[in-house]
C-alpha cells in the first residue's frame, strides 16, 4: 500500500517532476550568480537619497529605480527619447552595464511555472509539486521502514546499486525537496486565488501637496532616511508635473514622497499575509537567499537520478514477478511454494526450486506470500522462501502474510519448511523467516525441516538445503541455482607468492593483470573488499574470493588457501605465471571502511587478511588503522609480512597485532583482542568502526571476545552492528 503511494505518483509524474526539478535547479543558480556580480553595501552604508543623487550624476531622464532582492540596482531612464535600462553600482551609482533580462532565464522560468501553457500549465506544475510532496513523504516513510526505524535513518545503506543510490539521494535531498514542493504549492495556491497572497489596495494618493519648487532627489528627507537595503522600487514623478509624486515601495510597505517637501505620505505597511507570501516566494526562488537557492537547486538535481533509479527498480520488481512456467493452480497443486521477496532475487531461487520439483513430477503452485489461501485441497507440502526487509520486517510480497495466516492457519495437514534469505551483516539475520517459522509452528502445522537460512544468496547453501528437502520428501533434489553473473573479464596471472606449506596451510597471494597483448578490455572497476567470481573449469558454480586490491592499484589480487579436495582453490594454486582465467566482479560495498578521521579496527585470520591488507594499502589519507590478525607460524604463513612492515613505516598502518597458534607463546586473534582490551575500548569510544574478515568460527570467537572487551562501556557487537560500525565478510 505504502509502496504504491510511492510508485504510482512516481510513475505518473516522473517526467513532469524531472522537468520541474531540472528547470528549478537551473533557476536556482540565478540568485547566486546575480549576487556574485553585485557589490553589497552594508546596512546603513548608503541611503536611497544618496544613491539617487549619485545616479543623477551619471544618468539623466531617470524614471524608476528598482532594487532586486539580490541587491542589483536597475535604473530605467530615457535619453534623447530612447527608453533605456542600466544596472548601476549600488555604492557609487556609476553605470555597470545596460540591463536586459536574460531571455534564457525567462524561458526556463515560464517552463518551470507553466510549461508555456498558461493557466492549464500552472495547474500541471502545481500537480507536479503535489506529486513531489507525496513522493518525498512516502519515500521517507519507506526508507525509515527499510532501515528499521526513524532512529536508523542515518545508518549506512545496503542493496543493489539502484536501491542504494535511490535511497541515499532520497535521504540527502528529502528536506530540500519538501521545502521546494510545499512552497511551490503555496505559490500555486496564490496564483489560483485559493489563499490570500497578501496583495492589497494601493495607498490612497495624498491630495494635499506642499507648494514650492521640487527639491533635488538627494535632498528629499524621506529618501535620505531610507537605507538602500530596504528599497524595492522608487518611481519618479512625471517630468514637468509639479503635482506628481514619487511612488516608493520598501521592504516594509509602500507610499509616496512629496517632490517639494520630501515628506513620506500615505505610507501603508504591508499586512502579515503579504510578508508571508514574500517570505515563501523567497524560500522557493532563493531570491535574496542565494545559499538556500544553491542548496535547493542541488537537492533538485537529485530528482532526475531518483526518477531514473526509481523507474528501474519498479521495472525490475515487475519483471521478476512475472512468468513461472508450469505453474499449477492453488486447487490442483501437490506442493505450494510461497515467496517473500523484496527485489525479486528470492524469486530466482523459487524458480529454481519450482522447476526442480516439476521435473520430479510434482504439480507445484508458486505465489507471493501475500496470496496465502485458506485452503490448498490437494497440497501435501508448503514451502516458504522469504527474504527479510530492514530490521526483521516482512519484504514487499509478504507484508500481509502473518495477518492472513492468523485468520486462516493451514492446519496440521500441511507440513511446512521455511528457508530464509538474508545477510549476516544485519543484526536480525533472517528475522522475518524466523517469525514465519514460529507463527506456522504456533498455528499447529508440522515442520518438515528446521528453519534454514541462506547468507547472501549463496548457491551452495541453497543446494545443501535442497538435498535436505529432497531427503524429507523422499526424492532426489539437485538445486542448481545460477544467479545472473555479470560479464567476465580475461585475467592473466603475473605473480603467485606461496606461504604456509610447512604449517599445513598452503596459501598463495595471486596477482592478476589484464592480458598484456591487449586482447581483453583491461581490468574491470573494483575496490578492495569486493568479490571476484571465478568459474573453475568444468563447473557452473562460481566461487567468490575477497579482493585484496582495488583497480587503482593496477592489479587484481586475491589470497587463496588450498583446501583438501578444493576444486577452485586447487585450480588456482596450480596456475603458472602467464596462465589466463575468467573472472567477474561482484561489488560488496557494505564491507569497506567509511572514510574519515575515525579509527578503523581490522580483524582477520588466515586469508581473511586479503581485503584488510587492501584497505591498508589504499589508506592514502592515513586514517588510523589497527590490524589484529591470526596465523599459524611467523616463519611460514605470515601473509603480507613485508608489505605490512612497509605500511607501518609509512603510517598507512598505525599498529599491527599478530597472533600465532603454532609458536610457544601460542594464541589466537581473539586472545590478542582480549589482551588489548583497554586500547580497543579507547578506539571504540573515539567512534572506531570494526571490519572483520575470516571464517565463520573465527568471526564467532571475535564477537565473544569483543563483547567481553566492550562490556565495561555498556556496548556490545550487536549495538555496533545496529550503528553500522561493525561489518563482517565471512566465509
Partner 1 sequence: MNKLVVASCLAAVLALPGLAQAREVTLTTRLKDYSGNDAYLAIYLTDANGTYQQTLWVAGKKAKYYKHLPDWARGSRMAAAQYDGISGASVGSGETLTVSAELADSLIDAGYQIRIDSAVEDQRDVRADVVLPLTLQGAGQPASGSTYVQSLRYDL
- Contacts with partner 1 by CB under 8 A lie at 63-64, 76, 78, 81, 83, 85, 100-101, 103, 106, 110, 197, 199, 201-202, 204-205, 235, 238, 241, 244, 247
Q: How far apart are CA 473 and CA 304, in angstroms?
A: 51
- Residues 249 and 291 sit within 8 Å (Cβ to Cβ): no
Distance separating alpha carbons of residues 336 and 325, to the nearest angstrom: 14
Beta carbon of residue 271, minimum distance to partner 1 (angstroms, whole number): 13
Q: Is 206 or 486 the residue whose CB approaches partner 1 more closely?
A: 206
Task: Identify whether the C-beta of residue 438 lies closer than 8 Å to the C-beta of residue 416.
Answer: no
Quote the least distance from Cβ 205 to partner 1, whole Å.
6
Closest distance between partner 1 and the C-beta of residue 216, in Å? Answer: 22
Q: Closest approach of Cβ 100 to partner 1, in Å?
A: 7
Kindly tell me which of 103 and 649 has the beta carbon lying closer to partner 1: 103
Residues 348 and 371: their CA atoms lie apart, in Å, by 18
Residues 6+ apart with CB under 8 A from 650: none
Task: Find the farthest-apart pair of alpha carbons in the chain and give their distance in angstroms, rounded.
Answer: 114
What residue has cell string 504549492?
A: 185
Element (H, E) at 303: helix 290-320
Closest CB to partner 1 among residues 240, 450 = 240
The C-alpha atoms of residue 106 and residue 71 are separated, in whole angstroms, by: 19
- Residue 229: phi, psi to the nearest 5? -65, -15
Q: How far is the CB of 101 from partner 1 (least distance, A)?
A: 5
| Minimum gap (Å) between residue 103 Cβ and partner 1 | 5
Q: How far is the CB of 110 from partner 1 (least distance, A)?
A: 7
Nearer to partner 1, 210 or 238 (CB): 238
Q: Judged by CB, which is closer to partner 1: 105, or 311?
A: 105
Which lies closer to partner 1 via its Cβ, residue 192 or residue 315? 192
Sheet strands side by side (includes 73-79): 95-98, 82-88, 73-79, 62-67, 231-235, 245-250, 253-258, 264-269
Contact 17, 98 (CB under 8 A): no
Helix (H) and strand (E) counts in the chain:
19, 24
Closest separation between CB of residue 191 and partner 1, Å? 9
Query: Rounded to whole angstroms, how far apart are CA atoms 508 and 372?
Result: 51
The residue among 113 and 592 lying less far from partner 1, judged by its C-beta, is 113
Per the DSSP assignment, residues forming a β-bridge with 421 are 387, 454
State how far the Cα of 308 lies from the Cα of 311, in Å rounded to an integer: 5
Sheet harboring 335-340: ordered strands across?
Answer: 364-368, 335-340, 381-387, 416-422, 452-455
Nearer to partner 1, 280 or 440 (CB): 280
Cβ atoms of residues 378 and 332 within 8 Å: yes
Q: How far is the CB of 118 from partner 1 (least distance, A)?
A: 9
Could you tell me the three cell numbers for 571? 585450480
By C-beta, is 105 or 718 nearer to partner 1?
105
CB of 46 to partner 1, least distance (A): 23
Of 240 and 361, nearer to partner 1 (C-beta) is 240
Residue 494 phi, psi dihedral angles, 5° rounding: -110, -20
> 153 vs 195, which CB is nearer to partner 1?
195
Cell of 267: 505610507
Strands 507-513 and 489-499, bridge-based pairing: antiparallel
The helix/strand/coil state of 666 is: coil
Q: Which is nearer to partner 1, 122 or 633 (CB)?
A: 122
Provide the minimum distance between the beta carbon of 149 and partner 1 in the complex, in angstroms, as a whole number: 47
Q: By three-state DSSP, how is residue 103 classified?
A: helix
CA atoms within 13 A on the CB side of 410: 29
Q: How far is the CB of 109 from partner 1 (least distance, A)?
A: 9
Nearest approach in angstroms of CB 245 to partner 1 is 8
Alpha-carbon Rg of the chain, whole angstroms?
35
Min dist CB 12 to partner 1, Å, is 30
Q: How far is CA 543 from the centre of its chain?
A: 30
Name the minimum Å distance from CB 729 to partner 1.
59
Q: How far apart are CA 376 and CA 410, in angstroms?
A: 8
β-strand partners of 209: none
| Nearest approach, Cβ of residue 63 and partner 1 (Å) | 7
- From its phi and psi, is residue 443 left (phi > 0), alpha (psi between -120 and 50) or beta? alpha
Q: Taking a C-beta distance cutoff of 8 angstroms, is the pair 706, 727 a contact? A: no
User: Of 727, 461, 699, 387, which Cα lies nearest the Cα of 588?
Assistant: 727
Nearer to partner 1, 197 or 492 (CB): 197
CA-to-CA distance for 725 and 590, rounded, in angstroms? 11
| Residue (133 or 209) nearer to partner 1, CB | 209
CA dihedral 49→51→52→57, nearest 10 degrees, is 130
**117/442 with CB nearer partner 1:** 117
Q: Which is nearer to partner 1, 84 or 124 (CB)?
A: 84
Amino acid at each position: 500500500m505504502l509502496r504504491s503511494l510511492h510508485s504510482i505518483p512516481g510513475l505518473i509524474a516522473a517526467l513532469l517532476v524531472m522537468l520541474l526539478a531540472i528547470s528549478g535547479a537551473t533557476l536556482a543558480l540565478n540568485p547566486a550568480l546575480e549576487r556574485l556580480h553585485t557589490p553589497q553595501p552594508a546596512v546603513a552604508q548608503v541611503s536611497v537619497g544618496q544613491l539617487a543623487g549619485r545616479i543623477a550624476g551619471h544618468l539623466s531622464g531617470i524614471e524608476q529605480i528598482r532594487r532586486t532582492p539580490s541587491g542589483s540596482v536597475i535604473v530605467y531612464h530615457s535619453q534623447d527619447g530612447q527608453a533605456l535600462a542600466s544596472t548601476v553600482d549600488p555604492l557609487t551609482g556609476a553605470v555597470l552595464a545596460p540591463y536586459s533580462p536574460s531571455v534564457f532565464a525567462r524561458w526556463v522560468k515560464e517552463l518551470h511555472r507553466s510549461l508555456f501553457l498558461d493557466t492549464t500549465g500552472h495547474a500541471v506544475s502545481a500537480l507536479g509539486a503535489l506529486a513531489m510532496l507525496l513522493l518525498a513523504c512516502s519515500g521517507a516513510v519507506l526508507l525509515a521502514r527499510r532501515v528499521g526505524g526513524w532512529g536508523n535513518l542515518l545508518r549506512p545503506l545496503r542493496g543493489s546499486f539502484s536501491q542504494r543510490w535511490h535511497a541515499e539521494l532520497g535521504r540527502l535531498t528529502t528536506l530540500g525537496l519538501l521545502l521546494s514542493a510545499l512552497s511551490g504549492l503555496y505559490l500555486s495556491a496564490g496564483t489560483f486565488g485559493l489563499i490570500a497572497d497578501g496583495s492589497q489596495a494601493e495607498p490612497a494618493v495624498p491630495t494635499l501637496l506642499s507648494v514650492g519648487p521640487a527639491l533635488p532627489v538627494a535632498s528629499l528627507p524621506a529618501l535620505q532616511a531610507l537605507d538602500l537595503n530596504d528599497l524595492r522600487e522608487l518611481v519618479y514623478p512625471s517630468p514637468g508635473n509639479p503635482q506628481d509624486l514619487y511612488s516608493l515601495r520598501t521592504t516594509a510597505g509602500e507610499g509616496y514622497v512629496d517632490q517639494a517637501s520630501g515628506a513620506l505620505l500615505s505610507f501603508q505597511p504591508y499586512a502579515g499575509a503579504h510578508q508571508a507570501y514574500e517570505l515563501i516566494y523567497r524560500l522557493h526562488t532563493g531570491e535574496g537567499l542565494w545559499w538556500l537557492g544553491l542548496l535547493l537547486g542541488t537537492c533538485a538535481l537529485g530528482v532526475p537520478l531518483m526518477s531514473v533509479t526509481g523507474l528501474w527498480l519498479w521495472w525490475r520488481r515487475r519483471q521478476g514477478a512475472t512468468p513461472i512456467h508450469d505453474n499449477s493452480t492453488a486447487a490442483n497443486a501437490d506442493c505450494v511454494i510461497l515467496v517473500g521477496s523484496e527485489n525479486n532475487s528470492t524469486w530466482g531461487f523459487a524458480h529454481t526450486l519450482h522447476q526442480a520439483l516439476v521435473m520430479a513430477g510434482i504439480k507445484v503452485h508458486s505465489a507471493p506470500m501475500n496470496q496465502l489461501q485458506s485452503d490448498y485441497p490437494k497440497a501435501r507440502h508448503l514451502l516458504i522462501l522469504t527474504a527479510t526487509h530492514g530490521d526483521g520486517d516482512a519484504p514487499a510480497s509478504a507484508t500481509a502474510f502473518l495477518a492472513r495466516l492468523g485468520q486462516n492457519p493451514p492446519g496440521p495437514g500441511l507440513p511446512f519448511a521455511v528457508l530464509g534469505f538474508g545477510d549476516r551483516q544485519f543484526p536480525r539475520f533472517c528475522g522475518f523467516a524466523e517469525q514465519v517459522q514460529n507463527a506456522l509452528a504456533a498455528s499447529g502445522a508440522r515442520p518438515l525441516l528446521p528453519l534454514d537460512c541462506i547468507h547472501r544468496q549463496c548457491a551452495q547453501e541453497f543446494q545443501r538445503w535442497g538435498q535436505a528437502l529432497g531427503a524429507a520428501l523422499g526424492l532426489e533434489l539437485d538445486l542448481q541455482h545460477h544467479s545472473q553473473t555479470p560479464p567476465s573479464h580475461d585475467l592473466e596471472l603475473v605473480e603467485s607468492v606461496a606461504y604456509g606449506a610447512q604449517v599445513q596451510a598452503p596459501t598463495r597471494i595471486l596477482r592478476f593483470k589484464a592480458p598484456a597483448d591487449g586482447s581483453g578490455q583491461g581490468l574491470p572497476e573494483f575496490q578492495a573488499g569486493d568479490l571476484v567470481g571465478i568459474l573453475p573449469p568444468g563447473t557452473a558454480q562460481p566461487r567468490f574470493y575477497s579482493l585484496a586490491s582495488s583497480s587503482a592499484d593496477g592489479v587484481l589480487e586475491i589470497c587463496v588457501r588450498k583446501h583438501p579436495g578444493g576444486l577452485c582453490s586447487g585450480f588456482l594454486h596450480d596456475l603458472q605465471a602467464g596462465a589466463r582465467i575468467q573472472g567477474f566482479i561482484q561489488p560488496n560495498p557494505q564491507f569497506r571502511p567509511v572514510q574519515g578521521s575515525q579509527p578503523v579496527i581490522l580483524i582477520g585470520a588466515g586469508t581473511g587478511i586479503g581485503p584488510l591488507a587492501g584497505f591498508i594499502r589504499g589508506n592514502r589519507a592515513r586514517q588510523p588503522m589497527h590490524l589484529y590478525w591470526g596465523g599459524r607460524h611467523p616463519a611460514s604463513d605470515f601473509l603480507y609480512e613485508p608489505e605490512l612492515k612497509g605500511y607501518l613505516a609509512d603510517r598507512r598502518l598505525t599498529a599491527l597485532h599478530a597472533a600465532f597458534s603454532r609458536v610457544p607463546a601460542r594464541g589466537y586473534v581473539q586472545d590478542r583482542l582480549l589482551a588489548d582490551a583497554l586500547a580497543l575500548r579507547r578506539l571504540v569510544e573515539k567512534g572506531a568502526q570494526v571490519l572483520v574478515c575470516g571464517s565463520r568460527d573465527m568471526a564467532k570467537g571475535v564477537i565473544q571476545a569483543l563483547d567481553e572487551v566492550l562490556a565495561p562501556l555498556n556496548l556490545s557487537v550487536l549495538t555496533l552492528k545496529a550503528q553500522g560500525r561493525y561489518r563482517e565478510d565471512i566465509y
